[in-house]
Amino acid sequence: MELATTLRTFIEEGQDWERKHTSVKGVSIIRLPATKNRAASLAIDINPIGDNGLPMKKKGIMIMNAAEMAAFRAAFNNERLDSLIAALEEVLPERKSSGKAAKPDVLQL
């Protein structure tokens, strides 16, 4: 099935807040419910997978259009962010991770 067709079917037949994993680790598609002002829609959720096979964060970053993607890319590529992360790592204690294994339902991109 073509990607656009699969996404169209997902938005029409999926459940509110249903998540469909993709072949890109840490990237999934979420079906957002309809509101008074807009129809149901889809968003890309980016939440990288850690060494243990589980998402690194409780919630990822939701992206709904190319402008948002460009804004996040610009922010992540800012060199000052690297120095900020280094400073945070000096100040904050190391964190441990734990959780459940990931599901294998995958949408091929």
106 pLDDT higher than 80 = no
Question: Which of 47, 37, 41 lies closest to 17, judged by CA?
Answer: 41
Which range of residues forms the domain containing residue 68? 3-92
> End-to-end alpha-carbon separation of the chain, Å?
11
Q: What is the pLDDT of residue 99?
A: 56
Look at residue 106 and tell me if it is in a domain: no
Domain count, the chain: 1
Look at residue 97 and tell me if it is in a domain: no
List, for residues 28-65, the tens digit of each pLDDT value: 999 999 999 999 999 999 999 999 989 999 999 999 99
Look at residue 11 and tell me if it is in a domain: yes
Look at residue 105 and tell me if it is in a domain: no
For β-strands 19-22 and 61-63, DSSP reports them as unpaired
9 pLDDT higher than 60 = yes
Indicate the pLDDT class of residue 79, thresholds 50, 70 and 90.
very high
Per DSSP, which regions of 12-76 are E strands?
Answer: 19-22, 27-32, 41-46, 61-63
22 pLDDT higher than 80 = yes
6 pLDDT higher than 80 = yes
Look at residue 100 and tell me if it is in a domain: no
